[in-house]
Structure 1
Amino acid sequence: MSYVLRPATLTDAPAVTDLLNAIDTIEIGRPETDLHTVEADLKHPETDLTRDSWLAFDGDRLVAYGLLWDESDGERVDIDHYVLPEHQEAGRLLLDAMEARALGKARENGAERAVVHLHLNVAPTLDTELIRARGWSVVRRYHVLRRAVDAVADQAPKLPEGVRIRTCASEADLRRVHELYQATFAEHFDFQPRDYDRWLHDIDGTGLDRSLVWIVDTDELADAGFLMARDDREAMGWIRSLGVLREARGHGLAGLLLGHAFAAFAARGRDTVGLGVDTSNETGAPQLYARNGMTVHYAVDTWEAVLR
């Protein structure tokens, strides 16, 4: 079978969304990809679509899609790769192109090798034997968790004396969230430090709903943690990130933030809230979420290849 490959453009976003939703349906049982999410990916500030995106067509049908971006300015490069199960050869062609570009990008950054990461469902449409044969291996597993919420059952938690949760209302608050994010996630696997402007790009700051961003502070610890959420996904409300400073852990602050978010989403009429968590997270996050009623929706593996 002969495939036609070309870079993506922003006008391809609807076709890419359809492809990803077809893959979602196979992998997790229902479509969960939104058009605006694909558009945001294609606008990623570290991606040059002419060099860092790939579409594979069987005739007029889009059957595979790839995207590459570099947030490290060094050897670490990230890729997304999607292919329909009956078109593995198209997937291989994309991998050839993506691996070559990843190594070239790392060398442009002054690195001698590329360390490439790819996130795949644990039962992906891509034949994993194809990537194992190329030297890829699993280095981490993540769970996408979800929980039902209800406007009656999920009320905002009563805060202990000396504890406050405030909405991120000002530029100063958003800068504080950035500082808290950098501090609380620095010890996490694959963390990439970001200055404020690049972080703002990463979270699509121009479209950020600040009413879904909260900071928790205490009399003793001042600003001690944050939670960022988003309500622009059709499938469910989404908690983007939750972090509490090391010195403030063990006081129930993360649970208060989580309960606050559940109540906010329930008040908006949502019936489900989700988030992603590293199953090897050493801060106790998986246990926190389990205690608060979140269960596994599906699992994702991080695959790694070291290219020289």
Structure 2
Amino acid sequence: MSYALRAAAPTDAPAVTELLNEIDRIEIGRPETDLHTVESDLGHPDIDLDRDSWLAFDGPRLVAYALVWDDSKGERIDADHYVLPDHQRAGELLLGALESRALERARANGASKAVLHLHLNSAPTTDLSLIRARGWSVVRRYHVLERALRTGEDLPPEPPAGVRVRACAEEGDRKQAHALYQTSFAEHFDFQPRPYDTWLHDIHADRLDWSLVWLVSVEDLGDVGFLIARDDREAMGWIRSVGVVPEARGRGLGGLLLRQAFAAFAARGRDTVGLGVDTENATGAPELYARNGMSVHYAVDTWEIVLS
């Protein structure tokens, strides 16, 4: 079977969203990809769509999609790759293209190799024997967690003495949330430092309801933690990230922020909230989420290949 390949354009976002939701239905049983997320990906300021994106068509039907971007400005390169089950040859063509481009981008950064990462559902539509044969291997597993919400039961928590939770309402608060993100996630696997403007794009700040972003402070240390939530996903409310700086961990602040988000979503009539977590997170995050009623929705693996 022959496929027509071309770069993606911003106007392809609806077709890509439809493809990703078709894959969602196969992998997790329901569509969970929103148009604005794809639009943001295609509008990433670091992506040259003509060189960093690929679409594969079987006649008029879009059957595979791939994207490469570079947050590290070094050897670490990231990619997305999606293919329908009956079109693995198209997926293989796009893998070859994104691998070549990743190495090109790493070398342009002055690196001698590319360390390329790709996130796939643990039971993906992609043929895993195909990517293993190309030299890819799993280096990490993440869980997408979810929790049912109950209006009238999930209420705003009362902070303990000396602790304050406030909404991230002003520009200074947003810059503080960015600084806390950099500090609290610095030790995490695959963390890439991001300047403020890049971070704003990554969290889709232009669409973000900042009343769903909170900072937590304590008397002796000041601002020590944050939580960023989103209410623009059709499937569920979403907690994008929650972090507490190392010197303030163990005080229950992460759980306090979680319950604040649960209450806010329940008050809006949401019945489910979700988030993603690294299963090997060393800060105790998986246990924190379990204590607060979150359970596994599905798993995602990080695949890696080193190219030189």
Q: What is the RMSD computed on CA atoms of the aligned residues?
A: 0.7
How far apart, CA to CA, are the structure 2 residues paired with 1:16 and 1:130? 23
How far apart, CA to CA, are the structure 1 residues paired with 2:206 and 2:149? 28
Mean Cα deviation higher: 77-86 or 197-206: 197-206
% same residue: 72
How far apart, CA to CA, are the structure 1 residues paired with 2:121 and 2:206? 30
Deviation for aligned residue 1:220: 1.6
Deviation for aligned residue 1:204: 2.1
1:28 aligns with 2:21: no
The size of the alignment, in residue pairs, is: 308
- Give 1:7-22 correspondences, 5 Å limit: 7-22=7-22
1:63 alignment partner AA: V
2:173 alignment partner AA: D
Deviation for aligned residue 1:161: 1.0
Describe the SS at the equivalent of 1:188: coil
How far apart, CA to CA, are the structure 2 residues paired with 1:119 and 1:58? 24
Corresponding residue number in structure 2 for 1:195: 195
Corresponding residue number in structure 1 for 2:232: 232
Corresponding residue number in structure 2 for 1:143: 143
- Give 1:1-308 correspondences, 5 Å limit: 1-308=1-308
How far apart, CA to CA, are the structure 2 residues paired with 1:125 and 1:197? 34
1:199 alignment partner AA: W
Describe the SS at the equivalent of 1:229: strand
How far apart, CA to CA, are the structure 1 residues paired with 2:101 and 2:220? 50
How far apart, CA to CA, are the structure 2 residues paired with 1:170 and 1:262? 23
How far apart, CA to CA, are the structure 1 residues paired with 2:205 and 2:283? 27
Deviations 1:132-177 (A, max 9, x none): 1111000000000000111111001111111110000110000000
Deviation for aligned residue 1:207: 2.1
Mind listing any 5+ residue stretches in structure 1 that lack a counterpart?
A: none
1:264 alignment partner AA: A
Describe the SS at the equivalent of 2:280: coil
1:304 alignment partner AA: E
Deviation for aligned residue 1:212: 0.6
Deviation for aligned residue 1:205: 2.0
How far apart, CA to CA, are the structure 1 residues paired with 2:288 and 2:204? 27
Deviation for aligned residue 1:116: 0.2
How far apart, CA to CA, are the structure 2 residues paired with 1:271 and 1:182? 31
1:145 alignment partner AA: L
2:195 alignment partner AA: D
1:42 alignment partner AA: L
2:12 alignment partner AA: D
TM-score (norm 2): 0.99
Deviation for aligned residue 1:211: 0.3
1:159 alignment partner AA: P
1:15 alignment partner AA: A
Deviation for aligned residue 1:115: 0.3
1:168 alignment partner AA: C
How far apart, CA to CA, are the structure 1 residues paired with 2:225 and 2:162? 14
Deviation for aligned residue 1:222: 1.0
Describe the SS at the equivalent of 1:298: strand
TM-score (norm 1): 0.99
1:137 alignment partner AA: S
Describe the SS at the equivalent of 2:300: strand
Describe the SS at the equivalent of 2:44: coil
1:109 alignment partner AA: N
Deviation for aligned residue 1:208: 2.0
How far apart, CA to CA, are the structure 1 residues paired with 2:205 and 2:276? 20
1:2 alignment partner AA: S
How far apart, CA to CA, are the structure 1 residues paired with 2:174 and 2:18? 34
How far apart, CA to CA, are the structure 2 residues paired with 1:108 and 1:100? 12
